[in-house]
Structure 1
Amino acid sequence: MSKRTFAVGDIQGCLDPLKRLLDHVKFDPSKDQLWCVGDLVNRGPDSLGALTFLYDMRKSLKVVLGNHDLHLLAMASGHSPKKDKDLTKIIESENSEKLLKWLSKRPLFYRDKERKLAMCHAGIPPMWDVKKAEALSDEVEAVLQSPKADKFYKHMYGNEPHIWEDSLSGMERIRCIVNYFTRMRFIGPHGELDLNEKGNVIKQDNDLQPWFHYQIANKKYQLLFGHWAALGGVFDHPNVTGLDTGCVWGGPMTLMHIESGQRYLCALDDKKVTHV
């Protein structure tokens, strides 16, 4: 069997449907590759089990960080204003050190230059092309691997700055990059972030649109993203593919075979896998 590549939407601790999907397609970690669009943990029934499962097959994964993954890392650093019980199980587990160290080394953005594929959790704002997105992701990754990580987690939470400027510096710059990559849904005509609106695309006016409705500078790339369960993975845009179909909210988890575009769906409490 030739090597295959699959991409999965937000897992958020929903281990059982992930396993059923991978079993259904006969995923072979020695040959196949799985891309994860972030939010591996939180709100689902088994975040520790999901993170452990993915860590054990880490050589077959490409993973980008989502906002819930960063929330876990901030909790572990003692800087989260909210303490989630499901994430506490990870932090208090005997394998927490290796799991959190591995997670903290994941990027915010990944691209496959040869196949013209890219991936991030929430999206890319229109003022960044893939080259810039990769460079900004590298900036954040460098901070997370340095003694500055603790300072960042302390200052991570917040909605400002709400618009990108190249002149931004320090933790404000890093927080702004992280917010675009992991929390963005709607933006204004100049790239202004609106981090309060979480609905679907139909409700918006001309001054506030989904990030992918604006002219974006990555037309040569297909961008995979998650984060926005309200979209249901269905919208009309040729260059972006949404994979979060809200498994943790009662919807299915989506696994997509990248080479063919075939999608496989499985809900949290349903043992049946369907095709789209």
Structure 2
Amino acid sequence: QWLMANESRCRIVLGNHDLNFLAVAAGIRKCKPDDTLQPLLDSPRRKDFIEWVRHQQLAHFDDGVLMVHAGVLPQWDVAMTLAYAAEVEYRLQSRDWKAFLSQMYGNEPAQWRPDLKGTDRRRLTVNALTRLRFCSVSGLMEFQTKEGAGKAPSGFLPWFAIPERRSRDQTVVFGHWSTLGLMNSPRVIALDTGCVWGGALTAINLVSRELLQVASHRPGKVS
């Protein structure tokens, strides 16, 4: 509700859990035991929450910084990333958003091809921007491994470590990967430090690179 009230001061990108909220609210998926969606679903402002989430971006670019939830395929530059994200955003904001969500889930196609179109391209875009951790040089995504960067399966690398990645000349800020932890390198900033697992909530000043961390209220550890 704070984000909704301060929308003019914030730029938000959707992640896998936000899309899961929409799918559950639409009756396409069921809540999992570890989901924390019930307060939103039971709220008298449920419709407001759904409409607000549906109208957020999947990728945002400003002043040399690209922000996504999870990752960017090595074949995509910033313009391609924003264009493919916009295709998904258009569907989410349309009257047919529930139909789009019903077609969104699945791991295939897992590899980028320039000739992808329609539902296949939109599904791949969602998976790249909201789920990606490891991929191959050719843009094949690997969805099973959730450990840190040092646990890359054979033939795969962390998406940001792919040589000649086309977005490498821009700074990319992302989260999603709690087992990766904090990264604050010149062109790659990873901010998921496992708050929901008992780690910290981390923010960064993009100008000074100063970090701000707040301890989690939840016991546990990043795993």
Structure of higher RCO (CA pairs closer than 8 Å, 6+ residues apart): 1
Letter in 2 for 1:102: W
Partners of 2:102 and 2:31 in 1: CA distance: 13
* Distance in 1, Cα, partners of 2:36 & 2:198: 18
Q: TM-score when scaled to structure 1?
A: 0.74
In structure 1, the partner of 2:216 is 268
Of residues 54, 78, 85, the one that matches 1:137 is: 85
Question: Is it true that 1:227 corresponds to 2:184 in the alignment?
Answer: no
Residue in 1 that maps onto 2:51? 101
| TM-score normalized with structure 2 length | 0.91
Shift of 1:98: 1.4
8 Å CA contact 2:111, 2:141 repeated in 1: yes
Q: How does 1:156-175 map to 2 (within 5 A)?
A: 156-175=104-123
Q: Could you tell me which amino acid in structure 2 is paired with residue 99 of structure 1? A: F
Identity percentage of aligned residues: 36
1:189 to partner: Cα distance: 2.2
1:79 matched to 2:28? The reply is yes
Change (3 A) 1:205 1:171: closer
Work out the CA distance in 2 between the residues paired with 1:253 and 1:203: 24
Candidates 193, 218, 225, aligned match of 2:141: 193
Report how far residue 57 of structure 1 moved.
Answer: 1.5
Q: Which residue of 1 aligns with 2:221?
A: none
Structure 2 unpaired stretches of 5+ = 219-223
Deviations along 1:140-176, one digit per CA (max 9) or x if unpaired, are 0111111331112112221111111222233222111
Query: Within 2, Cα distance between the matches of 1:205 and 1:86?
Result: 31
Structure 1 outlier segments of 4+, above 4 Å? none
**Whole-angstrom distance in 1 between the partners of 2:75 and 2:17:** 25
Q: Measure the CA separation in 1 of the matches of 2:31 and 2:65.
A: 35
Q: 1:171 to 1:205 in 2, by over 3 A?
A: closer
The CA RMSD measured in Å over matched residues stands at: 1.7
Q: Is the 8 A contact 2:145 2:152 kept in 1?
A: no
Q: Specify the code of the residue in structure 1 equivalent to 2:65.
A: L
Change (3 A) 1:205 1:178: closer
CA distance in 2: counterparts of 1:161 and 1:221, whole angstroms:
27
Letter aligned with residue 106 of structure 1: Q
1:118 aligns with 2:66: yes
Q: What are the ranges of 5 or more consecutive residues in structure 1 without an aligned counterpart?
A: 1-51, 271-276
Matched to 1:90, the amino acid is L
Which deviations, in whole Å up to 9, do the C-alpha atoms of 1:20-39 show, x marking residues without a partner?
xxxxxxxxxxxxxxxxxxxx
Q: 1:82: Cα distance to partner?
A: 3.5
Residue in 2 aligned with 1:89? 39
Q: Do the aligned partners of 2:31 and 2:37 also contact (CA within 8 Å) in 1?
A: no
What is the letter of the counterpart of residue 191 of structure 1?
A: G
AA aligned to 2:108 is: E
Aligned partners of 2:145 and 2:153 also within 8 Å: no
Aligned residue pairs, count: 216
SS class of match (2:11)? strand
